[in-house]
Structure 1
């Protein structure tokens, strides 16, 4: 799938439903504001926010299940994730491993961040399939396997949002209200593309 097609797929999913998409992302926006304050664990809070947003979009796109209460849906995914803090611990491990690789130099850190990028969504899939306690490191390993031959592809996908990022800055941050759902929704669609491509 071309990157342009993947992004268009996300836009099609959100067409006429942008309010729901934005409300799902509200916890992320709140965390972004909190992160601007000193002495607060922004990275930890952001993991929770990304979990709620990504898991909500995954169910929306895959099952065409548009939440009637999108903000509640996102918060519910954060507070009632399978196995309690399972997804959060996966996210923490990904952060730790990425930081450790980054200590070697910037490029190895970027490569590993791309390699580990699917771990949270893999965890969600394992719980949906009835796996009671998917191994945290197993999810990270599966992500590395899934991303073999696709890391450059994902890197380019991320770069394709740079223009929107700078435009959002020029609008004094207002553009991020649309960019964040668009970006994370596209990453969710990319995960499903990878999963289908690796069958």
Structure 2
């Protein structure tokens, strides 16, 4: 019989984990938090202004060039953000699994840039988003349900990769494995996400400053959710 932890237990364990080590948590997610806030703050204003300038001058070549170059730059930056974010996220899971773990929080953001399999993260990201997008084409609700079902995909990859089993799986197998883990757990995950709305509002009220503490708390709780899923499956 599964004995999943409650939201309060998952969050409480994270609070216990970072107690006395908040600086480590903040530094671990410092770069992802800054990138997230910068992206939210800019809102693509630079590319928008360039595009507006090109259209108002009716320079067709400039319009095409600006749109194409901006798209490529945004795409490349998003991939860099992805690897940085996942590197921090994976180290967060390591920390959840070993509360006494000692590590360099800033360097942990660049772990997967040194991995020969960094490209797998990008392709998993692309395939995952294609699947979710196709579900969204049907209806909004199925898209949301499937995005939740696929939410553990990267954790699954990290888990199998750490055990030397990743080569035995295809990129879509990680998504399938996530879906299997989330059977009967989608609502728990959805409600856990909702429980952070108040914190996110607080982060907005503090002009983003609060996110330097809220984001690590959120990300570590999500890692703890995955840890709990696997622990119950193995029972």
| Alignment TM-score, normalising by the size of structure 2 | 0.78
Deviation at 1:124, TM superposition (A): 0.5
Deviation at 1:110, TM superposition (A): 0.8
Which residue in 2 is equivalent to 1:174? 209
Contact 2:85 2:109 in 1 (8 A): no
For residues 43-80 of structure 1, give each alpha carbon's deviation from its aligned partner in whole angstroms, at most 9, with x where no partner exists.
4344223311210101112123544421001212x313
Structure 2 unmatched ranges of 5 or more: 48-69
Q: Is 1:188 aligned to 2:212, yes or no? A: no
Structure 1 unmatched ranges of 5 or more: none
| Alignment TM-score, normalising by the size of structure 1 | 0.91
Question: What pairs with 1:57-96 in structure 2 (closer than 5 Å)?
Answer: 57-64=92-99, 66-76=101-111, 78-81=112-115, 83-96=117-130
Which residue in 1 is equivalent to 2:153? 119
Q: Which structure is higher in RCO with an 8 Å CA cutoff and minimum separation 6?
A: 2
Aligned CA RMSD, in angstroms, stands at 1.8
Which of structures 1 and 2 has the bigger CA Rg? Answer: 2
Question: What pairs with 1:18-167 in structure 2 (closer than 5 Å)?
Answer: 18-35=22-39, 36=42, 37=44, 38=47, 39=70, 40-41=74-75, 43-64=78-99, 66-76=101-111, 78-81=112-115, 83-133=117-167, 134-167=169-202
In structure 2, the CA distance between the partners of 1:166 and 1:152, relative to structure 1 (3 Å rule), is: same
CA distance in 1, matches of 2:26, 2:115: 21
CA distance in 2, matches of 1:143, 1:33: 28
